Structure 1
Amino acid sequence: MPMSYAEYLATRHFHGLTGVRALAAVAVVFFHYGGPALGPLQGWIAVHLFFVLSGFLITTLSLREEDRSGRVSLRAFWVRRVFRIMPVYYTVLALTAVFVVIGGQYWSSRLGDAMPLYLVFGNELVDYNTPLGMSWTLGVEEKFYFVWPALLVLTALAKSRKLWLRTGICVLSVAAVVFVVLPLTNGEGMGKLAAHYVSLVIGCLLALLMHHPKGFALVRPLMRPVVAVPVALGFCVFQLFVGDLVPLVGGIPWFTPIYALVSSLLLVAVVAPGPVQRLLACRPLKYIGDRSYGLYLSQVMAAAVTGVIAPPGWGKAIATAAVALGIACVLYRWVEMPMITRGRQLAAKLPQASPVKARTAASEVVSVPAGSNRPKHSRPR
């Protein structure tokens, strides 16, 4: 039997999603340093799998907090995000700057030109190559997560918790920014970035859908092992043919929402217990997934170490991923986890709303204990 709605709300850890993060991070590294030999893996688009996953997890956490305490604490959310994202990011930024300065390439690498934007998370506005070019994704995410939780709060205050009304308000608000405000800020360059926000929105919408009993019933069939396995295998085939499909739909901006929708189907198949989840929750993938943020950010530093391995191919890609994982382990032990813990401690000290009775599905007579419906899955990047 597939997972029930009550079991979904009570799930504290989405085991397989950590493995998805691991595969996405490694795919990006392989794309950057694998050359033509690894081109068929289409790792360049794996960042959108990150976006969908991140939107899903953040929104799920927020909705469950709302059910548990009656509201979403924006201050607590932002405190946790600051301590989750910024310490590792600024550590990598500082180390990169030091190494580039020592090498006498601070300006020639254009890191010096980009530094003012990098310091304020304007990474996606940098339209030239730098040693931290991959960090554009952080600029996209941080702006989105400054706005999205606030939209959830506003729609709750407006008494619009009905799925269709709340979703409509959120989607229209985000669409106004993505398709009207964003393109006007910097012309064509910003217009192309709209596709990245669409991926985040799709992940958020999936969370809204699954948090509602009727919405959960729509996707529940995908959680059956007999369906989840073909969905996962189908996603793998789809990934291999991305390069052929992009031109058929008119280019990357038009293909990105399609990829995000297919990725959302994969997440549904991974959330439920079964062979797909067990495979993606195995120890090696969990280990890499827990450190995927540091691995992603440190890939350029790792490539500087493996630069003697040429030309790009399987050897260089694997070596770079391994060195990046080593750097990520250090960051995870000495920066990431201590700062995440500190952020949670500070967030817990903020004024909290009085707990409310957990929401009960209209079609079920099962109540979920208030303390059991917050997932402890690893935080998205």
Structure 2
Amino acid sequence: MARGVYIHIPFCHQICNYCDFNKVFFKNQPVDEYIEALGREMEMTVAQMPEAFTNIETIFLGGGTPTALSAQQIEKLLGLITKHIPMSSVKEFSSEANPDELTIDKLQALYNGGVNRLSMGVQSFDQSLLEKIGRTHSNEHVYETIQNAKNVGFENISIDLMYGLPGQTMEQWQETLEKALALKLPHYSAYSLIVEPKTIFYIQYAKGKLHLPTEDLETDMYSVLMDTMEAHGLKQYEISNFANEGYESTHNKIYWDNDEYAGFGAGAHGYLEGIRYSNVAPIKKYIETVMAGERPLLHEHEVTADEKLEEQMFLGLRKSAGVTHEEFETKFGQPMLSIYKEIIDQLQQEQLIELDSEGIRLTRKGRFIGNEVFQRFLVGE
């Protein structure tokens, strides 16, 4: 049974240098046709497996950039979502947004359409770094948009930040954190830059033209991030996420809890009825397939019993609460230690995880090399 719905909007007015998500420039794209196709895909999928959609807790509009759409297109999209997705149990309805695109009419369209959480891609408060990574907004856009959002009625607002950016200094990172926290928002996400294939940064890196901070400096930036957030009363509930009590992202927790969710749109991924799937990515192909009455599936994989165990561990350990004995035994019918005692003992000796009567979780030391810890739970590692 799905707990969440992810809806992919693959349109952008500006392509960021680090982004590897399925996206295209907005201009000359069949945006209205795409929105119609999204509605059709939702309708078909819910009709095929209605039981999977009886307890949807969250909906998330991602991209690309959902706020690349016009206010009228946003209204149309939200109308289709509320028409085809059972909404009675939805508590959190989020949309990603760019600060320089979120006009008052778009904010009003989102709010009136049921969206109650905004996740804004701010990344940095240093203008030179914003230009390096391909962002077009200014700090003034951020301040104005957040105030407009509050005026419209939004209370649950989050911003994304990035560290480990090309040429970024510790002073720039500390200044970004200071300006971000001065906004007194209930939620912040902060991610280190990963140079992904098929991005502008990857091309620059391959040519030796991308000058990144050292590994030690990036580690120090993460340490400063954790300490600064804690000093401001924000709880780190996941490796990269910090929130006031009650403002944790329910949608993202679905992924880390290894629970099921539906993915709609070109290139979207989902996990329904034990099957992980991905949709076709080309927009024209997606529209043609859906409007021909077929789900636009590119790939399906039935998750094996071993894979479910692995995913429970490496996704769950991203959470500060870690993986509890109770949730593990409820899902798999056997104690966690009956399967992973040797690995857990070794990680304890290395002071990378801690074990108690509640469960296991990363130590502060373990958070710095989380991926290495996660790999220990994979078959064959």
TM-score w.r.t. structure 1 length? 0.29
Whose strand proportion is higher, 1 or 2? 2
Whose helix proportion is higher, 1 or 2? 1
